[in-house]
Amino acid sequence: MPLARSGSPWRAIGIAGIAAIPVSGCTNAPSIGVLGAYFPDWLFCIVAGVVLTIVIFLVLKRLQVDHLLGPSAVVYPTLVTFIALAVWLMLFQH
């Protein structure tokens, strides 16, 4: 049963418009070429988050204030996530 014959043309246009919304996000995958291989953007963001968290950990350890943060099992994974998302927002949003 075709959509155009079952009702008004506005209904068919509405259904086509709603169906086009999910397709509008289909673009090329966000990736970066490194020596001929393509890596996704999120991989670089996670690596940057881990590296910057290690730097922050070493700075806090050297200043001897690392005990003030709270439980390390919660603080450092949260810091990795926060930094990775911040790097993604700053560098890879078009």
Q: What is the pLDDT of residue 43?
A: 85
Q: Which one has a higher pLDDT value, 80 or 1?
A: 80
List, for residues 2-46, the tens digit of each pLDDT value. Answer: 544 556 777 777 787 787 777 666 666 666 667 777 777 888 889
Q: Where are the domains of the chain?
A: 3-91
Tokens of 77: 């994974």
- Supply the mean pLDDT for the chain: 81
Direct distance between the N- and C-terminal alpha carbons of the chain, in angstroms, rounded to an integer: 42
Q: What average pLDDT score do residues 67-78 get?
A: 89
Write down the pTM of the prediction: 0.63
Report the DSSP beta bridge partners of residue 39. Answer: 32
